[in-house]
A and B are shown apart, each in its own frame.
Chain A
């Protein structure tokens, strides 16, 4: 609601601030890694006249908003960003919002002790780029091929059911389902902490707003995100209460929910996006190849102008 009113204000101020200060609209769905931007708006760190937040029901809807031109940028996973680029809209990553470092995992039944024991078993996974990526990484760690197992495509909302009815011996899943399966006797054999900087959520902006007239607004959005992240780190009690309602949690559930999720700070962002060989570029290359193999992309992404660290704060 607050996010939407921010948008209303933004659209109510056409061309505010003249040529050098045009507003931008960012689409985002409700997710822990995107919550700092919403917190920044509620706390007044994000000027709604400069950056409008368009809250969507899902990442798919955010992508659609971006493709329709209703948004200038969107908070997406890296594979969704590649999909948007494949759909013909050039976008660049200006910031990494969060990194999964353990929140995505492969959970197996109690009898399966080692990853190599997965040979000949049925492994459930979500037929998304990230599901395929996690499965491949887990198999690589196990020294197995995809032919060694029986892959079983199952969407996240059916993971518990597939587990309960023993349709799968193991499943590539993520929070909060992962914790539920672990509580149900599952054993974690592999998690995203073992494949650093691979599963990331980013702020992707349309390349045509990465110009002089929108630079201040984009920089403002990025800076506001970091202010909120800083508040979460420095005063977690207060941040938890202020995030709870919007995330649909109780205050006590907020901080545990961040388990397995890294909110990279400015310095980490520079490491991921900037320099001669940005770390995220390698992950993107791997992801692009994998998406091609799984027919999620028609051809590999050129990765040209995919990362843009110019909007990260310089002074931190």
Chain B
């Protein structure tokens, strides 16, 4: 049977109802109901088992602080953690600030409950900031400054890693380059140990890692610091790690939106007091947790780099352009207007000239025609016709007159009667010629 309109509608309704039912079931089942363990998702930038082993004491410490709840640590790479957050499979998240901003934009995490604090050299002091490190093999002579990264093969865990790519790329961008376009990236995947291996095994010339990783590897006997050199090294006397970028606030610990507010409050309190539990902090290798930091600086980096969640170009309307460039635009419009006006004026003048030229040509033709007519008339008249000026000098004559004087017009013109006839005749001609003038004078 072909589906009817009502059939379609009914199907859609059924679908909606089943989704609603599912939502209802989910709403009735808080992810961390008493009895079920509270899951803390942690991003692993070293290997997952290593990260799990490192953070396991946190679960025990939280259990100690909140005895009626169980806590479980789960470690993820970037994509896995994003999926776990999207599918609400964890209750709390500890990840790098860039990833946190991305997750909270997409899935609505809470504002950070606390910010991780690491140990300074002085155990009484905490380090609340981290950054990125750029390194190469110590014997690689071609790499000294950050701009030397151009054209090199660079090992990174992935381009979504904040301290393993984005912070260094931002530093490169500030120096005037574009790392993703000007260098060849070798993506090793997590953990960041892979990056160090890639550089030492000469698969890459440069490696990008988080602050502290190189020192940790050296401590574990996996790296001899003499094998590497640090590029764009920042000399910050109080900071205990090697560093190539600016510093940014440490990792945030955030609650998922569905996490019970009461539980979140107690966990936050336990995190702040973790510093007192020296056994736990020593086992995890951290100082504790501090008050949540302001992550604006990280958001600024992501925005400037146009990376997720700021990879969409902000809508820029004509109004924005007008507001921003009002005066230059006005000046440009004025100049264009003046130019157009002048061009128009020029065209009009040209047109006028063309018309006038045509008129002149016509008038000239008319004059030529008139002259031809007169010349023909004068040339064909059987009478003697001549023209003299007031001094009796010939200006023109007709062929009949030429024959009368026995000379051509060009010989006659410019001469007087005295040049052609005897003095008496010439005098008589002259007197005769002057008669009309005299008559005119009398009247």
Contact = CB atoms under 8 A, between A and B. Distances in A.
Majority SS of interface residues in chain A?
Answer: helix
Contacts of B247: 235, 237-238, 241
Interface stretch (A4-12, A79-87, A107-115, A244-252): A244-252
Contacts of B131: 238
Contacts of A241: 129, 236, 238-239, 247
A245 B237 CA distance: 7
Interface residues of A, number: 12
Contacts of B293: 237
A237 B128 contact: yes
Interface in B268-327: 293-294, 296-297, 300
Interface in B355-381: none
B428 to A, nearest CB: 90
B295 to A, nearest CB: 10
Contacts of A245: 236-238
A295 interface: no
Nearest to B115: A237
A245 B300 CA distance: 26
B125 interface: yes
Nearest to A241: B236
B394 interface: no
B383 to A, nearest CB: 87
Nearest to A233: B296
B129 A238 contact: yes
B112 interface: no
B237 A234 contact: no
Among A234, A235, A236, A244, the one with the most B-chain Cβ atoms within 10 Å of its Cβ is A235
A237 B249 contact: yes
B248 interface: yes
A250 B127 CA distance: 12
A244 B128 CA distance: 15
B237 A244 contact: yes
Contacts of A236: 294
A119 interface: no
A3 B249 CA distance: 28
B236 A235 contact: no
A237 B248 contact: yes
Interface in B148-163: none
Given A241-B129, A252-B125, A235 B248 contact: yes
Interface string B311-350: 0000000000000000000000000000000000000000
B296 A238 contact: no
Contacts of B297: 234-235, 237-238
A238 B293 CA distance: 12
21 contacts: A235-B296, A235-B297, A235-B300, A236-B294, A237-B249, A238-B129, A238-B131, A238-B246, A238-B247, A241-B238, A241-B239, A244-B236, A244-B238, A245-B236, A245-B237, A245-B238, A250-B125, A251-B238, A251-B239, A252-B125, A252-B238
Given A234-B300, A237-B293, A238-B247, 19 more contacts: A234-B297, A235-B246, A235-B247, A235-B296, A237-B248, A237-B249, A238-B246, A238-B297, A241-B236, A241-B238, A241-B239, A241-B247, A244-B237, A244-B238, A245-B237, A245-B238, A251-B236, A252-B125, A252-B238
